[in-house]
Amino acid sequence: MSLSATHIRFALNIKNEYKVKNINDYLAGTIYPDSRYVTKIDRELTHYDELLDLNFCKNDFKKGWHVHFLCDAVNHEITDHSFRELYQNEYNGCYNEEKWIIFTAIKIIRDIEDFKKININDHLELFDVIKNPNGEKPDDIKKYNDIIKKIYIDKKEMTIDDACEGWLSLGVEKNLVDKIKVSTHKLHKDKRLTKRIYDFYDKIIIEYPKIIKKYNE
């Protein structure tokens, strides 16, 4: 998954293409899929290929949900090819723990940069939108929204520690979060790599229409 600041930045950048009327529903939709960390529903219920079908976009919430998966899809495709040297020893065509940690570290570094490009405080009402398309408990959705809100709101800048505290709040085990933190700090010290990660967002903007076209041909 991309992290929430990246998802919100991406959603805001392309919202005009989706003729969004209710921005709060749209942004709530784009952070909704990762509520699964709190609601404990299967990932397959919030992340699946059919979300790329433009016919799925029946309302602003579903448009945001679609845009979330679109961002994840292009993100994974580019990351897997652009940063493979970081996990060559672990690469086997699928995720394992080491590869997931590296992917997550990259996402944290990019999320910190994406946070600088948006003002989430302008969109506080998105966290009041409680929708449960998979029958989740509304209180669990609210708990998730509150976690995301706490990570980002009223901060001048994001830190690696902020991001890792967020992972803990989402229920990721501390020993795994500690590994993520170590990996993120290690990657962040490499200034050339950090710039590549920052520049990665421009590739997402270039490549995402190809993903849509491929699925909707």
Q: What is the pLDDT of residue 83?
A: 81
Domain hosting 92: range is 4-216
Q: What is the pLDDT of residue 110?
A: 93
Matching residue, tokens 């949900």: 65
* d(C-alpha 104, C-alpha 76), whole Å: 11
Low-confidence ranges of the chain (pLDDT < 50): 90-94
> Distance of CA 148 to CAs 1, 38, 52, 170, Å?
14, 11, 24, 9
Domain count, the chain: 1
Contact between residue 171 and residue 143 where contact means Cβ atoms under 8 Å apart: no
Q: Cβ–Cβ contacts within 10 Å for residue 124, how many?
A: 12
Alpha helices in the chain (DSSP H): 4-14, 23-31, 36-39, 60-82, 97-117, 138-152, 160-169, 174-188, 191-216
pLDDT in tens, 79-94: 777 787 776 654 444 4
Q: What is the pLDDT of residue 89?
A: 54
Q: What is the pLDDT of residue 90?
A: 47
Residues in the chain: 217
Q: What is the pLDDT of residue 81?
A: 75
